[in-house]
């Protein structure tokens, strides 16, 4: 068990990832409920959404370990799998166990949810095989990242159905705005975690700063952040909280843009690290502002 504890600490830290996934999953369910003027979903539904989402993101991490196995062995021998801490087979069994947990959760809430879960699994299977066009996708990194990030709003759509689908009502009209936010935010997080200072680049390791250069990669991160903030403001407007949320989103983007500009002028390790931290903090705050925060406002006199 100590081996797997070390693995999660290095590759899938439950504390940091868990906080983001709590905000991600709870917001999907709460936003759906608020948009259709329902009460705050029961805690067990929020917990079920978190557990299913956690399993999905863990499966994606495991799929990456398989996909990157050759590169890790050649260029990153310090990682847990190539250095022998855990094996790919062991991780595969963990992925299977995560799928069983997802299935049990769906059956416990409403067996009809299996349809949505199957759609997520199908896309995940195609993504794991890089849509049978891996070489072409790797030659087009923008399309590559977009095709892989697309699974994130699919997971969010599935988790949101723990509210509207279980209640046997149509999906709320505001949900597409929320899913668009999720897609752009996924792009922002993905780019933000692969920005490196020149001194930190590793031979054979593809980062966005290595592919596009510091200036262009930082600009892409900024654009994705701006798109997320704009779409989040529109989503907030759909449920009547834009007057409070939008200024906060603008302020957050201003801070992010300042750090991006700073990184372009001085591409240091600590600034790249702060950009990744900002990405995670923004994700938690933004999802909270769209999910649970509206219910807190509803309770105010």
Over the stretch 256-290, which tens digit does the pLDDT of each residue have?
A: 999 999 999 999 999 999 999 999 999 999 999 99
For residue 127, is pLDDT > 50?
Answer: yes
Angstrom CA distances, 158 to 101, 113, 187, 242, stand at: 15, 8, 19, 25
Same domain flag for 74 and 217: no
**Mean pLDDT of the 102-127 span:** 97
For residue 196, is pLDDT > 50?
Answer: yes
**Mean pLDDT of the 241-251 span:** 95
Q: What is residue 17's predicted lDDT score, i.e. its pLDDT?
A: 92
Same domain flag for 147 and 108: yes
Q: Are 181 and 242 in contact (CB under 8 A)?
A: no
Confidence label for 296 from pLDDT (cuts 50, 70 and 90): confident
Q: What is residue 298's predicted lDDT score, i.e. its pLDDT?
A: 79
Domain boundary among 148, 172, 196: 172
CATH number of the domain encompassing residue 19: 1.10.357.140
Q: Which tens digits make up the pLDDT trace of 52-67?
A: 999 999 999 999 999 9
Domain boundary among 139, 156, 172: 172
Confidence label for 163 from pLDDT (cuts 50, 70 and 90): very high
Angstrom CA distances, 81 to 3, 57, 91, 205, stand at: 11, 18, 9, 16
For residue 199, is pLDDT > 80?
Answer: yes
**Mean pLDDT of the 5-18 span:** 93
Q: What is residue 78's predicted lDDT score, i.e. its pLDDT?
A: 93
For residue 301, is pLDDT > 70?
Answer: no
**Mean pLDDT of the 186-192 span:** 96
How many CB atoms within 10 Å of residue 21? 25
Rg (CA), the chain: 19
- Average pLDDT of the chain? 94
Same domain flag for 178 and 246: yes
Same domain flag for 156 and 212: no
Same domain flag for 23 and 162: yes
Same domain flag for 124 and 212: no
- State the total domains in the chain: 2
Q: What is residue 77's predicted lDDT score, i.e. its pLDDT?
A: 93
Same domain flag for 162 and 189: no
Confidence label for 209 from pLDDT (cuts 50, 70 and 90): very high
Q: What is residue 299's predicted lDDT score, i.e. its pLDDT?
A: 65
Q: What is residue 297's predicted lDDT score, i.e. its pLDDT?
A: 84
Same domain flag for 63 and 146: yes
Q: What is residue 26's predicted lDDT score, i.e. its pLDDT?
A: 96
Q: Which domain holds residue 222?
A: 174-301
CATH number of the domain encompassing residue 259: 1.20.120
Confidence label for 123 from pLDDT (cuts 50, 70 and 90): very high
Q: Which tens digits make up the pLDDT trace of 78-89?
A: 999 999 999 999
Same domain flag for 157 and 178: no
Same domain flag for 63 and 209: no
Same domain flag for 107 and 211: no
Same domain flag for 150 and 287: no
Domain boundary among 120, 145, 172: 172
For residue 253, is pLDDT > 70?
Answer: yes
């Amino acid at each position: 068990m100590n081996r797997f504890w070390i693995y999660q600490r290095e590759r899938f830290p439950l504390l940091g990832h868990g906080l983001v996934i709590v905000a991600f999953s709870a917001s999907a369910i709460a936003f759906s409920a608020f948009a259709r003027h329902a009460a705050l979903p029961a805690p067990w539904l929020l917990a079920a959404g978190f557990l299913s989402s956690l399993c999905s993101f863990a499966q994606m991490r495991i799929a990456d370990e398989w996909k990157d196995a050759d590169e890790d062995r050649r260029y990153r021998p310090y990682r847990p799998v190539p250095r022998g801490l855990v094996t790919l087979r062991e991780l595969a069994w963990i992925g299977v166990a995560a799928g069983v947990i997802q299935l049990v959760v769906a059956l416990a809430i409403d067996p009809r949810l299996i349809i949505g879960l199957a759609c997520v699994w199908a896309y995940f299977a195609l993504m794991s095989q890089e849509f049978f066009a891996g070489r072409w996708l790797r030659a087009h990194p923008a399309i590559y990242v977009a095709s892989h990030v697309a699974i994130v709003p699919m997971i969010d759509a599935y988790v949101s159905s723990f509210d509207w689908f279980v209640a046997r009502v149509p999906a709320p009209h505001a949900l597409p705005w929320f899913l668009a936010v999720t897609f752009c935010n996924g792009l922002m997080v993905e780019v933000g975690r692969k920005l490196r200072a020149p001194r930190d680049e590793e031979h054979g390791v593809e980062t966005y700063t290595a592919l596009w250069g510091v200036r262009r990669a930082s600009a892409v991160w900024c654009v994705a952040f701006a798109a997320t903030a704009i779409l989040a403001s529109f989503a907030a407007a759909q449920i009547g909280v834009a007057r409070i949320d939008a200024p906060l989103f603008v302020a957050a983007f201003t801070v992010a843009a300042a750090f991006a500009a700073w990184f372009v002028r001085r591409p240091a390790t600590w600034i790249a690290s702060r950009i990744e931290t900002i990405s995670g903090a923004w994700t938690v705050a933004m999802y909270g502002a769209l999910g649970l925060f509206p219910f807190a406002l509803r309770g105010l006199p």
